[in-house]
Structure 1
Amino acid sequence: MSTVAPDDLVATDTGRRAGLVLAVVSAVSFSLSGPLAAGMFATDWSPGAVVLVRVAVGALVVLPVGLVALRGRWTLVRRNLRLIVVYGALGVAATQFCYFAAVQHMQVGPALLIEYSAPAAVVVWLWLRHGQRPARATLGGIALAAVGLVLVLDLTGVSVDPVGAAWALGAMVGASAYFLINARLDTGLPPMTLAAGGLVVGAGLLGALAAVGLLPLSASTDAVPLAGSTLPWWAVLALLGLVTAGVAYTTGVAAGRRLGARAGAFAGLLEVVSAVLLAWLLLGELPSGVQLTGGVLVLAGVVAVQLAEAATARRLATASPAARARDLPA
């Protein structure tokens, strides 16, 4: 039977600090995909083509490293084959494809808001399925982050299409699976190996969707405008694959194992803040005062969640066995 380690016991304070650094690297790496993709779209690349090439290049880059990290322990792959397939299908392919489908029916802001409700879904899942009840301070951080997210995405005057909302919920489920599987401590798989397997599966599934016409593809060899200059199309694709897929997924797995699913998911909200700042720096899209205020609230919420989780871990580490038995899930 699969197990999800209690977030309270995932890591020491040192491990949590390292996990938070990895989570920041992962969030910034993921957020870079927005400005890079926007430049590709301006040269007639379709969203489907950008997503497929990004994941495929990431798989090609990470796979050799994942194989080296495995060190010939193929029994780990056989034992966790189903998990790797689920990770690639939900955490990679479904998240990407469902979000792409959602923005065909609705605006980007509400689609992102629905997708980024994944951290709250993770909290509810761990509470109901595994008995990991969040502390009050964690719930306070969740509330702060939720308000900040609404402000960052600036949803004034937008409408929600039911079909788009359904697709965005699919992206939320995929993102939730990503955070939950990242935090699994019982697989024995190195983070690089899990990331490589997920990217390979995800690339294969996205390629199949493209082959049957569900993921429209169009591309161009024109130079890509970025930060007031241009870059060759192949250089932008290399950055998309290496940084926004390869680095993002591998550091995401490593962060999840140190922070746990709950804290790791909320650290992932830093991607939204980083995306706004990178759009400002690379595309000249100046954020509004409301968005900046929202970014501060998201950061405050993430910090509150991290501090609450760390405090709970320290309390349980010094508690008596009887007290720990009362606080931890059966």
Structure 2
Amino acid sequence: MNKFVVKGFIMAILAAIFWGFSGTFGQFLFQVRGVSVEWMITVRMLVSGILLLLYAALFQKEDLLTIFRPKKDSIALFTFAIFGMVSVQYTYFAAIQHSNAGTATVLQYSGPVMIAIFLAVKYRKLPAVRTLLAILMATLGTLLLVTHGNFGELAISKAALFFGLASAVALAVYTLQPLRLLHTYKSSLVIGWAMLIGGFLFSFVHAPWEADGQWDIFAVLSAVFIIVFGTLIAFTLYMASVKSIGGQMTSLLASAEPLAATLLSVYWLQTSFKLLDWIGSLCIISTVFLLSTGGSRSRVPSGLPTKQPLRMRDLVFLRSRRMKRK
């Protein structure tokens, strides 16, 4: 294995760790310091959007306004900002607030399964055996995670379950809706503008200058980590890894995100994570490997907004998404 490939592996894993840790730092801010989810996502989207656009302009030499010139692209961008970016940000962090970073991240990882189901229904084609197995594993994992094996009673709050599953649906929308934009423009440009627009609109829900909660050096550093390391640096590392080792391998390595979020949450915040939680998480995360390996290359059915043939796994794991989380 040459140094270029090793570097790609390291960058993908670091991106996953930064995304996972940002969820745990969010849990610390929400549950320990009393910071509101609304304030955090407003500030994160505004600052991260500006940083990503600066990155696109200074390092990628992109024309920042080019995406607004075609009317249909402007409409698609605003649609993505509202129904993709804002929804995935809010539901994910709300799930963390009502449960913990590990549970929220794992539940969101059932999103690719929902994408596979949606595509099968949309194109009226039965899912492949791997996809059916992934659906079964995701269902079993979710049941174990939210009930601890006692199927008549929830082990997490109804709010946590609602926002966790809503974040998976939001992730599916986030992944599918901007496909045409992502094949036309740099992902940094699309994600940067979507974050900035989303942050501006969400400012009417919670103004960024009205910070709440208890602030000390640890709270400030947590917020900085979420915005800088959990967004810009993770994004840069991930995209560099894609160039080094390809999108499929990078997606698989990025699946270390739930593990990073859970381990830090358990050992730092003393979050309870029992054996059935680990088994349920393993079931859900295994769907990533089932959906991203195997299968032959085939053209995407007509109507899918892309110029090039894609494998199902390429579509399901078009991972510009983790300007989320995560």
TM > 0.5 between the two?
A: yes
Q: Aligned to 2:20, which of 2, 8, 31?
A: 31
Q: In structure 2, what is the equivalent of residue 72 of structure 1?
A: 63
269-278 or 38-47, which deviates more: 269-278
1:128 aligns with 2:124: no
| Structure 1 pair 23–312 and aligned structure 2 pair: CA distance change class (3 A) | farther
Q: How many residues align?
A: 285
SS of aligned partner of 2:54 = helix
Distance 2:181 2:105 in 1: 29
Q: Structure 2 unaligned runs (5+)?
A: 1-6, 300-308, 313-326
Q: In structure 1, what is the equivalent of residue 213 of structure 2?
A: 219
Q: Aligned to 1:176, which of 161, 166, 172?
A: 172
CA contact (8 A) 1:66 1:195 kept: no
What letter matches 1:208 in structure 2?
A: F
Distance 2:213 2:282 in 1: 37
| Structure 1 pair 116–26 and aligned structure 2 pair: CA distance change class (3 A) | same
Distance 1:256 1:276 in 2: 25
Q: In structure 2, what is the equivalent of residue 146 of structure 1?
A: 139
Residue 298 (structure 1) shift: 3.0
Q: How does 1:1-330 map to 2 (within 5 A)?
A: 27-41=16-30, 42-68=32-58, 69=60, 71-72=62-63, 74-79=65-70, 80-98=73-91, 117-130=110-123, 134-153=127-146, 155=148, 156=150, 157-158=153-154, 170-181=166-177, 183-184=179-180, 187-211=183-207, 218-224=212-218, 233-248=219-234, 271-285=257-271, 287-308=273-294, 311-313=295-297, 316=298
Distance 2:174 2:123 in 1: 17
SS of aligned partner of 1:210 = coil
Distance 2:191 2:271 in 1: 32
| Structure 1 pair 91–31 and aligned structure 2 pair: CA distance change class (3 A) | farther
Distance 2:160 2:280 in 1: 24
Distance 1:208 1:299 in 2: 36
Give the TM-score normalised by structure 1.
0.66
Distance 2:177 2:25 in 1: 27
Q: Deviations over 1:237-289 (max 9, x none)?
A: 211101223345667789999759xx96x988654343222213433436322
Residue 58 (structure 1) shift: 1.6
What letter matches 2:134 in structure 1?
A: G
Give the TM-score normalised by structure 2.
0.67
Q: Deviations over 1:38-62 (max 9, x none)?
A: 3223233223222222222322321
Residue 64 (structure 1) shift: 0.0
